[in-house]
Amino acid sequence: MNQLLPYRHKSKLFENLDLLPLPNNSPWNGSIIYLDRDGVLNIGSENYINSPEELVILPDVANSIAKLKKNGFRLCIVTNQSPINRGYWGHNMLEKIHEKLISDLKKINEDAVVDLILYSPYAPFENSISRKPNPGMLMAGNVIINHSEKGEKIPNYVDLNSDYLFYEGESSAIVGDRLVDIQAGNSHGIRTFLVDPDIGLPQVIERILDKTDKGDVLQ
C-alpha cells in the first residue's frame, strides 16, 4: 500500500484546525463521526458531482449534523474524489463544490458545521492508504482533530501510522452508502452505519446517538 496522504479542504494537511465551540459550549465527547459525502450528505451521481451547481443537500441532513454537534461530536467528511487524478477536473473545482456544501448546510441550520473535510484524489490503481476502503483519511482526521482539541501543534507526519492515533471512545462511527465506507470504518476500529443513498445521514442519526447500537456488521 502506498503512503499517499489525503488532501484537506483549503489547508495543508497537518495544519492545526481552528475548531469552533460546540453548540451551547458543550464539551467534546471525545468521539468523531466520519461522514462520506455523496449519498450521505448530498444526492450522489454515477457520473460524479462535477460542479457546485450539481450539489444538492439531502433533506434534513443539516439538522442531523446540528444534532450531532449538540451531542458533543466532532465531524469529519472523508470522501474519495478520483476525478482529480483521472484528469476530469482539479482541486480548485472540488474546493468550490465544498464551499457550496459548507454554505448550504449553514443556511439551513447555523449549527450544521463540519469541522474537517478530507479527500482522496487518488485513482484505484494508485493503491493509496488514503482511498477508501483503506483507512488513511480516518487516521488523518483522528490526528488532526485530537491535536487541535488539545491545543498541540500537529507534527508534520510523513506517513499515517496507527502509533500516532488517539483513542476515540466507543461512540465514534463512519456513515456511508457503500461497502468501501464500512470497510474503512472496520479497519479504523469504529462503528459503521450503512445508509440508503436516497436518505443519507438522517436514516441513522438516532442509531448513532444510541450508545448501545454497535452499528452495522458487514463483510
Q: How far apart are CA 165 and CA 160, in angstroms?
A: 9
pLDDT band at 169 (very low <50, low <70, confident <90, very high): confident
pLDDT confidence of residue 219: 58
Counted residue by residue, the chain has a size of 219
**36 is an active site residue:** yes
Lowest mean pLDDT among 41-45, 59-63, 167-171, 189-193: 167-171
Active-site option among 36, 104, 111, 177: 36
Alpha-carbon 210 to chain mean position: 20
Q: Phi/psi at 191 (nearest 5 deg)?
A: -65, 150
- C-alpha distances in Å from residue 204, one per residue of 8, 149, 161, 196: 26, 26, 30, 10
pLDDT confidence of residue 183: 97
Q: What is the DSSP string of 112-142?
A: ---SEEEEE---GGG-BTTSTTSSHHHHHHH
Domains with residue ranges and CATH for the chain? 7-209 (3.40.50.1000)
Q: What is the DSSP string of 17-77?
A: P-PPPPGGGPPP-S-EEEE-SBTTTB---TT---SGGG--BPTTHHHHHHHHHHTT-EEEE
Q: What is the pLDDT of residues 19-30, one digit of tens each?
A: 999 999 999 999
Residue 1 has pLDDT above 90, yes or no: no
Q: What is the pLDDT of residues 66-84, one digit of tens each?
A: 999 999 999 999 999 999 9
Residue 13 has pLDDT above 90, yes or no: yes
Active-site option among 38, 104, 111, 115: 38
**163 is an active site residue:** no
Dihedral of alpha carbons 188, 6, 64, 147, sign: positive
pLDDT confidence of residue 179: 96
Q: How far apart are CA 180 and CA 64, in angstroms?
A: 23
Q: Indicate the DSSP class of residue 199.
A: T
Q: How far apart are CA 26 and CA 85, in angstroms?
A: 40
Q: What is the pLDDT of residues 175-218, one digit of tens each?
A: 999 999 999 999 999 999 999 999 999 999 999 999 999 999 87
For residue 156, what are the contacts with CB-CB under 8 A and spacing of at least 6? 14
Number of neighbours of residue 19 by Cβ within 10 angstroms: 16
- C-alpha distances in Å from residue 55, one per residue of 44, 50, 58, 101, 216: 8, 8, 10, 7, 28
pLDDT band at 133 (very low <50, low <70, confident <90, very high): very high
